[in-house]
Structure 1
């Protein structure tokens, strides 16, 4: 492997970089968010914690 020409390392770096960018773009744009219902957002209940030391 150390005998590889620098241009081969550069091509390898570009291939991995492009692959990583395509993977990130596909993950970012292909994720489907489920819409939140209005009734769920209004019914948020908070509970108080009773600390017993």
Structure 2
């Protein structure tokens, strides 16, 4: 079984770092905390009968 050359390890490392950063940035910009807070507020406000 042949071993990988150091240059291939570098390309593989750069590829995984780029995929990691891309995945994290997509998750960061898709997260909408205000939408979830409004939704939870409506559920809680329906329970309380003042």
SS in 1 for 2:10: helix
Give the paired residue count.
Answer: 39
Displacement over 3 Å in runs of 4+: none
1:19 to 2:19 alignment? yes
Show the counterpart of 2:3: 3
CA distance in 1, matches of 2:24, 2:37: 25
**Which of these two proteins has the greater Rg computed from alpha carbons?**
1
TM-score normalised over the length of structure 2: 0.61
* Structure number with higher helix proportion: 2
- Structure 2 unaligned segments of length 5 or more: list them: 42-50
TM-score normalised over the length of structure 1: 0.58
The CA RMSD over aligned residues, in Å, is 2.2
